[in-house]
A and B are shown apart, each in its own frame.
Chain A
Amino acid sequence: EAGVAQSPRYKIIEKRQSVAFWCNPISGHATLYWYQQILGQGPKLLIQFQNNGVVDDSQLPKDRFSAERLKGVDSTLKIQPAKLEDSAVYLCASRGGTKPFTSSGNTIYFGEGSWLTVV
């Protein structure tokens, strides 16, 4: 089974420029997450999708960040304009079920992340 795919893996941009990250979740997974991981900190949820609808975007800085999940499969996270403090790893994750976590299923799987450096 293919894992969560993300691209690009690494990106360096200047402040005030824009950047977009792409995520392809595990096939059939209804729930998709974008997390931001700043160096030295744990991942923080930016946005959660259920199919193509937003479940939680309470911590997404909507003045500069946007995300979409067209057709309920792939997702794109965009930052415009970027700030220095946006330097982080952006992790995409997916989960198959909508029912409670169980001992044998509904695990959240993470991609390898997209590393952003804003200079």
Chain B
Amino acid sequence: AQSVTQLGSHVSVSEGALVLLRCNYSSSVPPYLFWYVQYPNQGLQLLLKYTTGATLVKGINGFEAEFKKSETSFHLTKPSAHMSDAAEYFCAVANAGGTSYGKLTFGQGTILTVHP
């Protein structure tokens, strides 16, 4: 079975500071990995995804994430936080095959707060 662990349910940064949201996954087959963002009272919006190829993935709004197979990690970063980045972020994994194919399994989420 696949699973996702997000380290830290709340992360607080100052505007302009580095954003680092941690995600570790467990999967018995090569995974597809995703980061979604959820603003208050809204649905989930895809930030970026790793499928195959380059392990450093760039997404929208200046975010990027690096797939590290040896560490089973897919941490999300942004060099300089903006007030508009305040939201809840979810890491998710999907299997490339098997019975869980096409299904996303989410972590518990990390709430990002950005201080002026």
Chain A residues within 8 Å of B, Cβ to Cβ: 4, 31, 33, 40-45, 48, 55-56, 91, 93, 95, 98, 100-103, 107-113, 115
Task: Find out whether the CB atom of A103 lies under 8 angstroms from the CB atom of B51.
Answer: yes
| A101/B49 contact (C-beta < 8 A), A31-B102, A44-B106, A55-B102 known | yes
* Interchain CA distance A40-B90 in the complex, whole Å: 11
Q: How many residue pairs between the two chains, A and B, have CB atoms under 8 Å in the bound complex?
A: 65
Q: Assuming A48-B103, A95-B102, what are 17 further A-B pairs, CB within 8 angstroms?
A: A33-B104, A40-B108, A40-B109, A42-B90, A48-B102, A91-B43, A100-B32, A100-B96, A101-B49, A102-B51, A108-B46, A110-B36, A110-B44, A111-B43, A112-B42, A112-B43, A113-B43
Q: Give the B interface residue count (CB, 8 A).
A: 29
> Measured between alpha carbons, how far is A55 from B104 in the docked complex, in Å?
13
- Identify A107's interface contact among B4, B49, B103, CB under 8 A: B49
Neighbouring B residues of A108 by C-beta, 8 Å: 46, 104
Q: Does B116 contact A (CB under 8 A)?
A: no
User: Contacts A101-B49, A103-B52 hold; do A42 and B108 have CB atoms under 8 A apart?
Assistant: yes
Q: Which residue from chain A places its CB closest to the CB of B9 in the assembled complex? A: A40
Q: Scoring B residues 61 to 91 as 1 if CB is less than 8 Å from chain A, else 0, what string do you get?
A: 0000000000000000000000000000010
